[in-house]
Homo-oligomer: A and B are copies of this chain.
Amino acid sequence: MEARHLRYALALAEHGHFGRAARALGIAQPPLSKQIADLERETGARLFDRTRRGVFPTAAGEAFLARARRALQEMTAATVDAGRAARGETGRLRLGFIASALLAPLPDVLGRFGRERPDVRLELHEMASSRSASALIAGELDVAVTLGPPRGAGAEHLVSVPIGHDHLIAVVSSAHPYAGQESVTLDQLRRRPLIVAAGEDEPAVTAGLRTLLGEDSPALIGATFARDVHTIIGLAACGVGVGLGPSRMLSAPRPGVRFCEVTPRTALPDLILSFTDEDRSPALGAFLDTVRRNCPDVGAALDRRLSHA
């Protein structure tokens, strides 16, 4: 049985007349008679009553037609759904990211993507950069935002572009002596208890601070370690010490704290957007489009990475 038989049966039921149904189908009457006869032979049941006043479905015909309608609806829906999925309008996007990326630029990008593609199911997984990388390579994620480029076996197959440049800034309570300053010097940092990050991703950051402030700086030795940037800011607000973190903390202003630049300006590892370029899903393509439109410079980098790929 083919879809043609269903279409013909439905047309016949609708018009109640072989000749008119055939004309509506754009074929001649004899082929329609034959196809209906074939269908009745295959189903083993008479589906239509041919009377002088018209052609009417039998009880078996009614049962058949109800299913036929749904079958054809499913078939057209199949094409529609495939098209939507291919254009990235539906589907699933699994995103791994480090928590601090939620300060910036993820809120903008995710908000925009959610509005542009309301039918894409976003699966958001906060995880350390190293786990994001291995999950990407294992095919468990579609895209990831990591601190620095992903490393490890298979990372060479990933496409990575910087999505945010950060430098080191300080955060202090409004009551803190540094609160009025535009910037703080390294010497000033060395004289105060510090609050620094201690997540899975942070050994490199901490090492960078050691080099910056001096290997055995008492401020670092007596530092408070926090698992995420919000804790750093919170502790700074309590006056525990001088918080140090990425400049994207500026996206999380909070009453009672002030941010200061650190002099000299010190670069931190970039936020990196990574994905596997083979088998790129349409939803990922749509996401990259959104990123492209949201951050022109990232878009340009993307185009460079994808053109020679």
Residues of A bordering B, CB below 8 Å = 1-4, 6, 42-47, 49, 51, 58-64, 66-68, 70-72, 74-75, 77-79, 81-86, 90-92, 279, 281-283
Contact between chains at A90 and B74 (CB < 8 Å): no
A2-B4, A90-B63 as given contacts; A45 in contact with B83, CB under 8 Å? yes
CB distance from A157 to the nearest CB of B (A): 14
Interface contact B45-A85, CB-CB below 8 Å: yes
**Given A45-B86, A70-B74, A71-B71: A281 and B59 interface contact (C-beta under 8 Å):** yes
Q: Do residues A74 and B85 form an inter-chain contact, with CB atoms below 8 A?
A: no
Find the B residue at minimum CB distance from A56: B279
**CA gap between A58 and B5 in the complex, in Å:** 30
B82 and A78: CB pair below 8 A?
no
Interface hub of A45, A62, A68, A82 (most chain B Cβ within 10 A)? A82
Contact assessment for B3 and A59 in the assembled complex, using a CB-CB cutoff below 8 Å: no
Instruction: Flag if A79 contacts B281 (CB, 8 Å).
Output: no
Can you name 5 A-B pairs with beta carbons within 8 Å?
A42-B79, A45-B86, A59-B283, A67-B81, A70-B74
Measured between beta carbons, the chain B residues less than 8 angstroms from A92 are: 59
Complex: how many Å from CA A45 to CA B90? Answer: 14
**Apart from the given pairs A43-B83, A59-B85, A59-B86, 5 other A-B contacts in the complex at a CB distance below 8 Å:** A1-B75, A6-B75, A63-B84, A64-B78, A64-B79
Contact of A279 among B42, B49, B62, B279 (CB under 8 A): B49
Option from B47, B67, B77 in Cβ contact (under 8 Å) with A75: B67
Q: Which residues does chain B contribute within 8 Å of A75, judged by CB atoms?
A: 1, 6, 67-68, 71
Please tell me if the beta carbons of A86 and B74 are within 8 angstroms of each other in the complex: no
Chain B residues with CB under 8 Å of A81's CB are 63-64, 66-67
Chain B residues with CB under 8 A of A66: 78, 81
Give the distance in Å from the alpha carbon of A281 to the alpha carbon of B61 in the complex: 11
CB proximity of A117 to chain B, nearest CB, Å: 13
Considering the complex, give the chain B residue whose CB is closest to the CB of A283.
B59
- B86 lies within 8 A of A44 (CB): yes
Residues of B within 8 A of A61 (CB): 82
Max count, chain B CB within 10 A of own CB: residue among A61, A71, A90, A92: A71
A140 vs B64: C-alpha distance when bound (angstroms): 22
B residues in contact with A68, CB < 8 Å: 74-75, 78
Residues of B within 8 A of A64 (CB): 78-79, 81-82, 85
Cβ of A78 and Cβ of B67 under 8 Å apart? yes
Chain B residues positioned under 8 Å from A44 (CB to CB): 79, 82-83, 86
Interface-central residue, A4, A46, A59, by most chain B CB under 10 Å: A59
Residues of chain B contacted by A4 (CB below 8 angstroms):
2
Q: With both chains docked as a complex, state the minimum distance between the C-beta of A126 and any C-beta of chain B, in angstroms.
A: 24
Residues of B contacting A45 in the complex (Cβ-Cβ under 8 angstroms) = 82-83, 85-86
Given A6-B75, A75-B1, A79-B42, A85 and B60 contact (CB-CB distance below 8 Å): yes
